[in-house]
Chains A and B, each alone.
Chain A
C-alpha cells in the first residue's frame, strides 16, 4: 500500500512537473500573467509530491517490506536502522529518487526565496527546472521504478554491499547530489537568460548564491567521499583518479570557475557570455557524471549495476538538456554585446586567469576520463589513464593557479599594480620558501611534498595577508576589530575558502610523506614503525549486528607510554558472502596512525601499519572551503536580491 502511494506520488510529481514546464513558458510567451504566476505553486506542489514518494520509499525500507523488489535486492532485516534507511538511496533506483527530490527542493527554494526575482525570470527558471525534473521523473518511472513489487514476497532481503554500510557513505550521496543538482538552478538561470536574451549584473547576483551553495555542498560531498575511500577501502590512499571520482571533480572545477566569473558579471558586467556557458557546463558535467556512472560505458569500483537500456535513456536526457542549451547558446550568445573593458593586470584579469586554468584542468580531467573510451571506440586501442597521468598533466596547471590565487583577491578592479600586492605577500612567500627548504632538509629530496607545503603556506599566508590588509591590522590596530566586523562576509568567505584549499594541500603534502610497514607478527610481539612501537596483543572473533569478524588489538606505544589502542578488523558479511577490511585509525592533529589486519598464518597475523602525517587536514580543508562558501552565502549583498533591474517587466525575447 505504501509502495503504491509512493508510486502514485511519483506519477503526480511527473504531471506537476509537466505543468510547471509548459504553463509558465506559454504564459511568458503570450503574456498571460496568471500562467506565469502558476510556476511557483506548481514547483511547491511538485516538491510535496516528490517528498511524499521519497518518504514512502524510506518507509518500505524501514519496515523491510520484502514484497518490494528494491528492498529485497538491497536491504536485510538484520541491518541497523541507519543503514536500512541509507539503503533506500544506496542503490540505483533509490538514488535517482533522491536526485529528483533534491531537484524538487531546489525548485521549491527558487519558488520560496526568489520572491524578489522579476516575475518572468522566475517563471522561466522554474519552467526550466520543471523540464529537468520532467525528464528525470520520466526516467525513474519508465526504467527505474523503486516501488516495483515481487510476488510472492521474499523471506528476507539480500543485503546491501557491506562496503556501503558506513555512516560516511550514508551521507555522501545526499551531499554530492545537493551539489550536482544545485547546478541545475544555475543552469536554469542561464537558460532563462538566454531565452530573455539578456545578462546583466543582477543576473550575476542571482546566480552567485546558487553557485556558492551548490559548490559548498559538492565540496563537502567530494571530501566525504574521499575520506570514506581513505578509511573504508583500507589502501591508505585518498584519491584514485577513478572515473567516478573524476565525474564529481568536473562539475566542481566548472562550478569553481563559475563562482569566480559570476563575481565579474556582478561587479563589472564583463564575462557575461562566458559565465552563461560555465553555468551550462557545470550542470552538463553533472549530467555527464550521472550518465557515466549509470550507463555501464565505463567500469569502476563505484559504478552502479547498470544496463545499456537505462544508458540510452540518460543519454537522451543528456543530449536534450546539454545539446538543447548549447544550441540555444549558439543562437543567442553572439548577439550579447561584450562590455566592461579591463587591463590584463586587474582583479578581472586575475579572475580570467583563474577561469582559464580551472577550465584547462577540467578539460584535462575530461579528456583523461573519456579518452580511453573513445580510443577504444574509434581506434580499437585499449589504454588506461591512471594517477601517473593525472598527476603529471595537472601539476603544470595547478601550480600557476595556486601561485596566482594568493595575489588575485588583492588586485584592484579594472587596473592594478602588481608591486604593492607582492609587497603585502612577501612574508607569505618567505613562509612558503621556508617550508620548501625545511621539508627538503627534514625529509630528504622529496620535491612533491616540499612544493605542497610551500603551496599550502603560500595560500594560507596569502589569505591572512588579505584579511590583515583589509582590516588594516598593523596600520590602524585600534580600528581593526570594527573593520573586521564591517568587512563584507564575501571577503571573509573568499579568504576562508582560499585558506581551506591551503589546509587541504597541507594534508596532501603530509600524505606525500606517509610511510607504511607490512609485517607478520605473533600475539605479544611488536613491530617498530615511524617512531612508534606497534604491539599486537591478540586476535579474536567478534560478532556484529550483521557480520562476524576477526579483530586484532594493537597497542601503539611511544617511549613505553601507550598512545592508543587500535582494533582493525576483517569483517565477513554472511548475507552476500563478502569480506571487508576495517582499518583502525587514530586521528590527531598531527596525523593518522592507521592499521589494517591482513591474513593469518601459522599463528601469525599480517599487519600493515601506516603513519600518515597531517592526513585529516585534507578533509578538514574541504570542510573549511565549504565554510568559506557558507560565509560568502551569508553576505547581505548575496542574500538580499538585487533591486529589480531596468526592464524587468517587459516581455523581451
Chain B
C-alpha cells in the first residue's frame, strides 16, 4: 500500500505531457534529431510505457538532458544508450536486447509464420490423401465441362 503512495507521489504532477523546454534542445538540428531517435528507444521509468521523449516527468527530463549532452559530446548512439542501460538495466530499453530470455520474443514472427506454414502443409497433405482415397480423379472432358459451367455461374452472379 505504501508503495502505492510512493508512486502516487511520483506521479503527483499528473499524467505527464512532454512539452519540454526549448533550452533543452540542441542547436544542431542533425544532433537534435539523433538525440530524439535515441530518446524514443529509452523508457521513462516512472511513467509506464512512455519514452523519455514523450514524458514530462522529472527523471525523463534529466535523461533527455543526459542524452543530449552525450550526443553533443560526440558519443555514438550505442554509447549513449549504453550509458543509460548501465544504470537502469534492460528495463529502460524499449527495444529489448536479444538474449536467452528475449529469444522467444524476437523469434515470435518466425515461429508464428513457420508454425502456420507447417500446419497448412500438413493439413493439405492429409486432406489430399483423404480426398484421393474417396474420389476418382476427373477426366479431362469432365474438367472442361465443369470449368464451362463455373464460368456461366460466375457470369450469372455478376450480371
Contact = CB atoms under 8 A, between A and B. Distances in A.
Contact of B130 (A337, A364, A389): A337
A384 B112 contact: no
B158 A338 contact: no
B17 A383 contact: no
A238 to B, nearest CB: 12
A578 B14 contact: yes
A241 B43 CA distance: 13
A385 to B, nearest CB: 6
Contact of A364 (B19, B54, B91, B109): B109
Interface in B16-75: 17-23, 25, 40-41, 43, 47-51, 54
Interface in B98-132: 101-102, 104-106, 108-109, 111-113, 116-117, 120, 123, 126-128, 130-131
B48 A389 contact: no
A332 interface: no
A483 B96 contact: no
B21 A388 contact: no
Contact of A234 (B17, B25, B40): B17
B89 interface: yes
Nearest to A161: B15
B90 interface: yes
Contacts of B17: 233-235, 580-581, 596
Given A363-B112, A383-B101, A598 B20 contact: yes
Interface stretch (A39-47, A194-202, A367-375, A620-628): A367-375
A240 B90 CA distance: 19
B139 interface: no
A371 B21 contact: no
Contact of A368 (B43, B101, B105): B105
B96 A389 contact: yes
A241 B14 CA distance: 21
Given A301-B15, A389-B96, A520-B22, A341 B127 contact: yes
Contact of B18 (A235, A241, A386, A580): A235
B20 A486 contact: no
Which of B25, B102, B113: most chain A CB closer than 10 A? B113
Interface string A472-501: 000000000001001110000000000000
Interface in B70-100: 89-96
Given A301-B49, A483-B158, A519-B22, A375 B109 contact: no
Contacts of A243: 49
Contacts of B21: 518, 520, 598-599, 606
A368 B154 CA distance: 44
A404 interface: no
A375 B101 contact: yes
A381 B127 CA distance: 44
Chain A, interface residues (CB within 8 Å), range: 35 or more
B101 A360 contact: no
A363 B108 contact: yes
A518 B91 CA distance: 29
A16 to B, nearest CB: 39
Contacts of B157: 488
Contacts of B111: 363
B96 A385 contact: yes
Contacts of A154: none
A352 B120 contact: yes
B159 A580 contact: no
Given A384-B96, A486-B159, A364 B108 contact: yes
B14 A383 contact: no
B19 A598 contact: yes
Contacts of B102: 371, 375, 383
Contacts of A483: 158-159
B127 A470 contact: no
Nearest to B13: A579
A300 B101 contact: no
Contacts of A242: 49
Nearest to B117: A356
A379 interface: yes
A553 interface: no
Contact of B51 (A299, A386, A393, A518): A386
Interface string A243-276: 1000000000000000000000000000000000
A240 B18 CA distance: 14
Contacts of B130: 337-338
A551 interface: no
B105 A389 contact: yes
Nearest to B41: A388
B113 A371 contact: no
A608 interface: yes
B116 A386 contact: no
A518 B22 contact: yes
B29 to A, nearest CB: 10
Nearest to A360: B112
B90 A384 contact: yes
B94 A384 contact: yes
A191 B69 CA distance: 60
A234 B14 CA distance: 14
B20 A579 contact: no
A278 to B, nearest CB: 13
B71 to A, nearest CB: 17
Nearest to B132: A341
Contacts of A163: 15
Contacts of A488: 157
A435 to B, nearest CB: 24
A338 B127 contact: yes
A382 interface: yes
B54 A235 contact: yes
Contacts of A38: none
A575 B19 CA distance: 24
B90 to A, nearest CB: 5
Given A383-B96, A387-B40, A483-B158, A581 B19 contact: yes
A385 B22 CA distance: 29
A385 B94 contact: yes
Contacts of A235: 17-18, 54
Contacts of A363: 108-109, 111-112
A237 interface: yes
Given A384-B93, A606-B21, 12 more contacts: A240-B49, A300-B49, A363-B111, A382-B90, A386-B43, A388-B95, A487-B158, A520-B21, A520-B23, A580-B14, A598-B21, A599-B19
11 contacts: A241-B49, A300-B48, A357-B113, A360-B109, A367-B105, A368-B105, A384-B93, A387-B51, A388-B41, A580-B14, A599-B19
Interface of A: 163, 233-235, 237, 240-243, 299-301, 337-339, 341, 352, 356-357, 359-360, 363-364, 367-368, 371, 375, 379, 381-389, 392-394, 396-397, 412, 470, 483, 486-488, 518-520, 578-581, 596-599, 606, 608
Q: What 7 pairs across the A-B complex have the smallest Cβ distances?
A: A386-B94, A598-B19, A363-B112, A388-B95, A360-B112, A367-B108, A382-B91
